[in-house]
Structure 1
Amino acid sequence: MELDTSNPANREAQNDHPPKHGGWITFPFIIATSACLTLGNAGWVSNLTVYMIEEFNVKRIDAAQVFNMVNGSISLSPLIGAIIADSFLGCFSVIWISSFISLLGTVLLTLTSAISSLRPQTCETGSTACPTPSKFQLAILYAGLALSSFGVGGMRFTLTTMGANQFATTKQQSIYFNWYFFSLYASAIAASTAIVYVEDNVSWALGFGLCAGATALGLVIFLLGSRFYRHVKPEGSPFTSLVQVFVASIRKRKVQISLKNEDYYRGHVNGIQEEVAATPTRSFRFLNRAALIAQEDIAPDGSISNPWKLCTLQQVEDLKTLIRIFPLWSSSIFLGTPIGIQTSLLVLQALTMDRHLGPHFQIPAGSMLVFESFFICIALVLSDRFLRPTWQYLTGRPPTPLQLIGLGHVLNISSMAVSAVVESMRRQSAAMPLSVFWLVPQMALVGVGEAFHFPGQVALYYQEFPASLKSMATAAVGMLIGIAFYLSTAVMGCVRRVTGWLPDDIDDGKVDYVFWMLVVVGVVNFGFYMVCAVLYKYRNPEKAVESGGSTS
Structure 2
Amino acid sequence: MSLEEGSFTSNGEADQLSAVAASDSNKRGGWITSPFITATLAGLTLAAGGWINNLIVYLIKEFNVKSIDAAQIGNVVNGCIYMFPVLGAILADSFLGSFTVIWISSLVSFLGIILLLLSSTIDSLRPPPCDQNGPTSCITPSKLQLSIMYLAIALATIGVGGSRFTLAAIGADQFDDRNHQWSFFNWYMFTLYTSSAISATAIVYVEDNVSWGWGFGICAAANVVGLVVFVLGSRFYRRVKPKGSPFLGLARVVVAAVRKRNLVVSNTSEDYYYHREEDIGGRMEIASTPTTTLKFLNRAALKVEGDIKPDGSSAKLWRLCTLQQVEDLKTLIKLFPLWSTGIFLSIPIAVLLSLATLQALAMDRRLGNYFKIPAGSMIIFMIVSTSLSVIFLDRFFFPTWQKITGRFPPPLQRIGIGHVICMISMAVAAIVEQNRLKMAHNISANSVVPMSVIWLVPQLALVGIGEAFHFPGYIALYYQEFPAALKSTATAMAAMTIAIAFYLSTALVGMVRSETKWLPNDVNEGRMDNMYWVLFGLGGVNFGYYLVCASFYKYLGLAKVANENKA
Per the TM superposition, whether the score is higher than 0.5 is yes
* Aligned residue type for 2:372: Q
| 2:118 corresponds to which of 92, 111, 119 | 111
- Contact 1:373/1:447 (<8 A) preserved: yes
SS at structure 2 position matched to 1:429 = helix
- Contact 2:274/2:288 (<8 A) preserved: no
Tell me, yes or no, if structure 1 residue 283 matches structure 2 residue 305: no
Residue 300 of structure 1 deviates from its aligned partner by: 1.5
* Aligned residue type for 1:444: A
Once the two structures are superposed, residues 498-546 of structure 1 have per-residue CA deviations (whole angstroms, 9 ceiling, x without a partner) of 1110111111110000000000000000000011011100003357789
Residue 164 of structure 1 deviates from its aligned partner by: 0.9
Question: 1:545 & 1:391 partners in 2: Cα distance?
Answer: 19
- Contact 2:276/2:286 (<8 A) preserved: no
Question: 1:13 & 1:278 partners in 2: Cα distance?
Answer: 38
Question: 2:531 & 2:25 partners in 1: Cα distance?
Answer: 58
Question: Mean alpha-carbon deviation: is it higher for 171-180 or for 448-457?
Answer: 171-180
Question: 1:252 & 1:96 partners in 2: Cα distance?
Answer: 44
Question: 1:184 & 1:283 partners in 2: Cα distance?
Answer: 41
- Contact 1:460/1:544 (<8 A) preserved: no
Question: 1:350 & 1:242 partners in 2: Cα distance?
Answer: 47
| 1:199 corresponds to which of 201, 207, 214 | 207
Tell me, yes or no, if structure 1 residue 310 matches structure 2 residue 320: yes
Q: Residue 45 of structure 1 corresponds to which residue in structure 2?
A: 52
Q: Which runs of 5+ in 1 are unaligned?
A: 1-11, 547-552
Cα pair distance change 1:301/1:324, threshold 3 Å: same
Residue 20 of structure 1 deviates from its aligned partner by: 1.9
Give the superposed CA RMSD.
1.8
Tell me, yes or no, if structure 1 residue 239 matches structure 2 residue 256: no
Q: Residue 87 of structure 2 corresponds to which residue in structure 1?
A: 80
* Aligned residue type for 1:216: V
Question: 2:469 & 2:267 partners in 1: Cα distance?
Answer: 44
Residue 18 of structure 1 deviates from its aligned partner by: 3.0
Tell me, yes or no, if structure 1 residue 71 matches structure 2 residue 81: no
Question: 2:273 & 2:459 partners in 1: Cα distance?
Answer: 54
Which structure: larger Rg?
2
| 2:451 corresponds to which of 434, 443, 464 | 434
Once the two structures are superposed, residues 83-117 of structure 1 have per-residue CA deviations (whole angstroms, 9 ceiling, x without a partner) of 00000111100000111111111111111101110
Residue 171 of structure 1 deviates from its aligned partner by: 1.7
After superposition, residues 517-536 of structure 1 pair within 5 angstroms as: 517-536=534-553
* Aligned residue type for 2:126: R
- Contact 2:481/2:558 (<8 A) preserved: no
After superposition, residues 34-433 of structure 1 pair within 5 angstroms as: 34-124=41-131, 127-267=135-275, 276-430=286-440, 431=442, 433=450
* Aligned residue type for 1:20: K
SS at structure 1 position matched to 2:518 = coil
SS at structure 2 position matched to 1:397 = coil
Question: 2:236 & 2:526 partners in 1: Cα distance?
Answer: 57
Q: Residue 9 of structure 1 corresponds to which residue in structure 2?
A: none
| 2:475 corresponds to which of 449, 454, 458 | 458
* Aligned residue type for 2:86: L
Once the two structures are superposed, residues 117-165 of structure 1 have per-residue CA deviations (whole angstroms, 9 ceiling, x without a partner) of 0000112399221000011111100101111111111111110010011
Question: 1:512 & 1:37 partners in 2: Cα distance?
Answer: 36
Residue 15 of structure 1 deviates from its aligned partner by: 6.8
Question: 1:358 & 1:226 partners in 2: Cα distance?
Answer: 48
Cα pair distance change 1:441/1:127, threshold 3 Å: same
* Aligned residue type for 2:408: P
Q: Residue 9 of structure 2 corresponds to which residue in structure 1?
A: none
- Contact 1:46/1:367 (<8 A) preserved: yes
SS at structure 2 position matched to 1:236 = coil
Residue 278 of structure 1 deviates from its aligned partner by: 2.8
Cα pair distance change 1:545/1:76, threshold 3 Å: farther
TM-score (norm 1): 0.94
Question: Mean alpha-carbon deviation: is it higher for 441-450 or for 277-286?
Answer: 277-286
Q: Residue 463 of structure 2 corresponds to which residue in structure 1?
A: 446
Residue 19 of structure 1 deviates from its aligned partner by: 2.5
Question: 1:238 & 1:52 partners in 2: Cα distance?
Answer: 40
- Contact 2:277/2:286 (<8 A) preserved: no
Once the two structures are superposed, residues 51-110 of structure 1 have per-residue CA deviations (whole angstroms, 9 ceiling, x without a partner) of 000000000000000000110000000000000000011110000011111111111111
- Contact 1:88/1:236 (<8 A) preserved: yes
Question: 2:241 & 2:269 partners in 1: Cα distance?
Answer: 35
Cα pair distance change 1:268/1:512, threshold 3 Å: closer
* Aligned residue type for 1:116: D
Question: Mean alpha-carbon deviation: is it higher for 19-28 or for 242-251?
Answer: 19-28
Residue 361 of structure 1 deviates from its aligned partner by: 1.4
Question: 1:66 & 1:506 partners in 2: Cα distance?
Answer: 17
- Contact 1:257/1:288 (<8 A) preserved: yes
Question: 1:124 & 1:452 partners in 2: Cα distance?
Answer: 45
- Contact 1:268/1:303 (<8 A) preserved: no
SS at structure 2 position matched to 1:433 = strand
SS at structure 2 position matched to 1:359 = coil
Question: 1:320 & 1:50 partners in 2: Cα distance?
Answer: 45
* Aligned residue type for 2:26: P
* Aligned residue type for 2:360: A
In percent, how many aligned pairs have the same letter?
58
Question: 2:22 & 2:48 partners in 1: Cα distance?
Answer: 33
Once the two structures are superposed, residues 334-370 of structure 1 have per-residue CA deviations (whole angstroms, 9 ceiling, x without a partner) of 1101011000001100011111111121111111111
Cα pair distance change 1:269/1:472, threshold 3 Å: closer
Tell me, yes or no, if structure 1 residue 468 matches structure 2 residue 522: no
Structure 1 runs of 4+ off > 4 angstroms? 12-17, 542-546
Question: 1:495 & 1:336 partners in 2: Cα distance?
Answer: 18
SS at structure 2 position matched to 1:266 = coil
TM-score (norm 2): 0.91
Residue 390 of structure 1 deviates from its aligned partner by: 1.1
Residue 239 of structure 1 deviates from its aligned partner by: 1.1
After superposition, residues 1-40 of structure 1 pair within 5 angstroms as: 17-40=24-47
Q: Which runs of 5+ in 2 are unaligned?
A: 1-18, 279-283, 443-448
* Aligned residue type for 2:508: V
